[in-house]
Structure 1
Amino acid sequence: MITYNPRSITAILPARPSGNFQRLQWISIAALVIVLALIWLLTWQRLQAEEALLEKNAELQQRSLAAIIAENLAQVVDRGRLMAVTANYGADGDNSRASARLTSMLASDRTFLRLALYDNALSRLSSSSPFVDSPEIKTFLQLADNPTDALLATDSDVQVGPLLKENAWQVPLLISSHHGYTPRSGYLLAMLDLGYFLQLYRNIDIGATGSIYILGLDGTEIAEARPEGLSLSQEPRHLPQFAPIQYPNGLWRGAIPGSEGKQLASFQRVEKAPFIVVVSRGMQEIRASHGGNSLRSWGTLGSLSIILMGAMWGLVRSTRHQQTLLEALRTSDEEKHGLILRLESEKARAMTLASHDHLTGLHNRRMFNELAASHLEGAQRSRKHYMLMYLDLDRFKLINDSLGHHVGDKLLHAVSERLRSSVRSADVVGRMGGDEFAVLVTGVEHAQDMDVLASKLVAQLSLPYPDIDGHEIQVSPSVGIACFPRDGHDVTTLCRHADAAMYESKRMGRGRFTYYDASLNPSHDRVLQLERQLPKAIENNELVLHFQPKVDLVNYQISGMEALVRWQHPEHGLVYPNDFIAMAEKSGLIVQLGDWVMQACCAQQARWKAQGIPLVPLAFNVSPMQLRDGSLAAKITQLLQNHGLSPCDLEIEITESCLVEPINQAVKVLEDLRQLGIRIGLDDFGSGFSSLSQIRDLPISTIKIDRSFIDGIRSNTDVGVIVTSIITLAHGLQMRVVAEGVELMDQLVQLKMAGCDEVQGYFLSRPVPGAEAEKLLLQTTIIPT
């Protein structure tokens, strides 16, 4: 055995670090400085990117709002044109008849306050109600009578007059009564109520500094709406920066008279009308949220840099004083003993952290399983009962989402305290993760005593928690119980069976306990069986197609069919897609399943064509994995040739998940399909993350509004506005709109009024087999009843 004297260590250590060691220190310091510089640079770049993204989102929001307001204002002016033509056509020289017609038209449109009909010489013939022309109106008519005056619009049949001083937000419009190639026979003077028009957008969030301006073509302010209400200036402002005729829309940054600070403004010229719509918002408000985030990031980074530099400085000092530290190690036995005790304490603390949940202080999953396994080994030699309980808090996610995770954490801690106090000290309690807890009840004398304990736990945990960060919260547990050894001989089996019983409690109404029963397993076994048999089902041609028609809202003719796959299982009967599509995607069989659907659709279309049945485009879904296959267009081309079909006989439908970055390959495949002549639709629009601004450049010709919007269109006015806006903007992008999930006549009527092109849903027809689909194609129309 080799021994040495600790006191001899100092004799072989140098008095100061060597030159190489000093160089190593300087290299370490330089490396730390470089790393910190890179971190600061990356943080600055990230914050700049976040600020740019924030401004970009604000730009997109303001562009969309300006486009919607401009479109609605254009529709108002179009209605004025229609009124002008209708009033002049029905007058026939009878002024009283014309006045009655004007009054009738005015009653049907609240946007206009008064209507008056003039001849070509601008002499009033009739009006909706007796009124005297104000000085502004008379001046406006005199200027309009002079064709050389600059007030006349050179590219529009609508002229706008000055804002009336005695009637705020009322603007006179002089509308020519000619239509198309019909010669002009007079004018209609319509008093437009911009106050009523702008009040329609009072619920739109444009921020505290946001404004909506209605300007003339020369940039003169006509009306302004702010979050606090409509604004009327004593003297109209002139905003020439928004007046250029050659730019129908755009963005502008700068100071606007009457607004504080620099503004971000989006302007949109109203088509065929002498108005410009401007939506603005203060740059300071847009960047406000980013400023706080930036300050926190810089503060955190600064603190981290100071800590790291301090640590490096401490390390340098520690290395320079290594001899002193070595001398400190050569202390008395008492100091060594104290160090050992400290190390043992730290070891115990580390063991506690490794075996307990940091939030609740209960055993974590690993320690619970070890303790439960140890107890179950002793239970084999005992005649007493042992039971494993799984507890899950009902609707805990709702509390987390609505009140915040910090409230959820405090609630979990309170639940753990109440749970620990409700069981015996001999029982084992653990947190298995999230809002799931487990309790191993040991040494129960009688099995029926477990009912009392479970009822007590459910009742105790269901009592209100009075002060959770200022909130009174009440939750209930769903409990599943597995008995040893009846329901399992090991911890894994008991946990699985208790978990199954717990989900049965949730299905039976929550806030209760359920004992495990072997009958709870068939659903799980069924899933495993389906997953194992799916590959053979595709090979053995056990899949079938059902078809649901799409109906054109103009004439109620069947404009297309959607193919929906079903599994005709020999044991379970007809299995719907929700039971096997997800497992096909998970196992990678979705490509093989998609190829079968494409081939089956082409074969069905070929059979209908041979029977002389009128064909409509047959749509089928394509998964994201299929879009990654660059040969998809070639496969479809070959199928069309093999079955004698044309590209217009098929339609591809994709979901928003296909547009997740990177999308370059998906866009290339979609472009190949469009060049082939196949229409492409976007299914379930609105249920994901995409917007019309993101898909406007994609080769998509149809969007299908998700059924969640259609379900709420009757009960929620906001949903109706959203659906109408989607339809309007989609039509502006030359896209057709299909509404899916239509189940009621009210939904059909509202969609037709909103301008939707096609509908699909149970109200018209459920998905039907091929034989019934043939009957629908032969009758060509589906008249709603």
Structure 2
Amino acid sequence: MLVAVIVLVLSLLWWLTAKHLRAQQEQVENATRLQQAGVAAIVSENLRQILEKAQLMSVLALQGVQGTGPWQHQLAQMLDRDRVFLRYTLLDQQLQPLAGDVQNLGRWDDALAQQQGACAGGRGALVLPGAHQSSTQELTWQVPLLLCVTDAQGVSQGYLMLHMDLGYFLSLYQDVDWGASGSLHLLAPDGRVIAAMVGGGLVAQPSSAAVDAFRKVPEGAGVRNFEWPQGVARLANFHRTAHMPITVVVSREWREILAAHDDYAHRAWWLLSVVSVLAMGATLFLLRTLQRRQQWFDALEKADQDKQELIAQLESEKQRALALAASDHLTGLHNRRMFYELVSSHLALARRSSKYYALLYLDLDRFKSVNDTLGHHVGDALLQAVALRLQGMLRSSDIIARMGGDEFAVLVTAMEGPQDMDVLAQKLVEGLSAPYEGIAPTALHTSPSIGIAFFPRDGHDVEMLCRHADTAMYASKKAGRNRFTYYERITPVDSERGYRLARQLPDAIVQEQLVLHFQPKVRLEDRSIVGFEALVRWQHPELGLIYPGDFIALAEEHGHIEALGEWVMLACCRQIAAWRMQGLDVRPIAFNVSPLQLRDCAFPLRLATCLQHYGVRGSDVEVEITESCLVEPVGVATRVLSQLQQMGVRIGLDDFGTGFSSLSQIRSLPIDTIKLDKSFVNELRSSKEAGVLVTSIITLAHNLKMQVVAEGVELMDQLVYLKTAGCDIAQGYFLSRPVTAQNAEALLRQSILEIA
């Protein structure tokens, strides 16, 4: 935390320094622009005043052209008063000399020839091109300015050429602080250099090259970046007064402008780097000091903890001696005798309390199969794991006991309301139904059947509460296991409905009250539909659509499961034939086969007869069996499965992982596909171990040349994980709920399942 604060402070300091240096650089640049702009404006204004004097001289020259007045005397006086103008030459419209300096006129013949007729264009003053390129040192700074001599009506009468001494003009600005690279350039409109002063000194022979950046600049002031000489960046301010034939450019090298700032910035960054290093060093030293002090405190705390552990050990030995007489030797929970005593004392307090108390009986579903198939040592380990989970999910004030075998009892004390029991009971069902890892070669799956009785509503003493909770627990088992039931909700109505459905089921099979719904199986590689699973529904004329959870157990209990299985087999073949008659590309339909059907040696013959009757191929159907079908006699089941496989029928092992078989046990069986139970898929989000187990099952199944189908896919992240793990096929509500035959037909036409 301290390091983070120091880093944050230093980062802020570096950011503020960078911001300050940027602002300071902008101030330096703006100050330079303002200074140069002021100098350029002053020089341009002085040139404008000189041009106005030249215009007055052109008015006097008009008298010379017309031959009237003492113009020469007046013009000479004006030249004497202004040292910028050295001499003059008066020319007629044909550029022939009339008066003034005519001896050196031949020097400007080519330049004058280029300007003939210029006055006709209305131009008032021109700097002759090439005039400054004289090789004579004396004439280097003498620049001819050509003015038009016009009468009152603006008609051209001739030309007045005034020789300007720009060396004298520029020398007026030698005292200005130009710096080492500061320069003042006077440029013609086409960018030619007329005169120049660099670093406060006059350039003896200005370059005749044009500066392209200032070619034909507009009138007024401006700022530009340019390179002069080539490759040297400069900041320039230019100024050109209206009707002025000369552009004033004041410039300075960028490296000189920013030299002082760069030096300051370098020192600032160096100082900031030193401060940062010192701050980090001081912080690390402080952290090291604090770490050593913490080690000392930890050593003292450990010594104190060792003392407390010795005291606790003595106390635990005392408690252990008492607990041995009152606890279950396998799980460490209370035994039956201690449970009765503790519950009796709590109920005595509950009679004077406004809180709610409930007694729960829990029985593990299919626990006998664990002992019979895997051995009693595995069963004992499972009971210990269940006890640990119960202790983790209940409060310390609740009483937990093992009543014997796979039965547990719990007294939940001091609840605020009966609704709290709903939450806790659901939590117990879900927690105890989660897979148990590390007990057997594969994960064990069991579930609780729970019965609940409230005090004093369902009983006033321990014996009556236990008896009613036990009755409710058996009601949970009868209702399908893996649930909880309150004693008060065991009513004759439920028993009457079950008896009614069991009595009407044979007629429902004969009268075609059953219908099939189809859930598509989707290949994860390309989202194509590769098959359907047929799920039976009972369209009851009075009770409406009844789902299999309400009548499959009744069919098994009352001996109707074989007839129900035969109807499903016939209905699947009939539906395949109907789809093929419509020209559809049929996909295999899977249906469940009960253990009784699988132990019937005549079952393959009946299926073959059904396939032949409807003209259906063996590859168009798939039978799904559960792990319970592989219990003894396993030889008969293996022979039946082999006959089915020889007919081209694919064999799928449904709900893999909920029983006690493993891939190593079924590798010799004629099984083409295993279906991962949805309990594995549900735990992918919450259990890292479940993901590892699923990946391992998929890898082993592929090595055994089996396909893997994941059922119960309800979320996108489950689908993504299964595809990444290499799962072949998936089905579930996220992809599609079970649909009617008509909707399944639409899916067949679509072929590819679009996932939202």
Q: Which has the larger radius of gyration?
A: 2
Same fold (TM over 0.5): no
TM-score (norm 2): 0.40
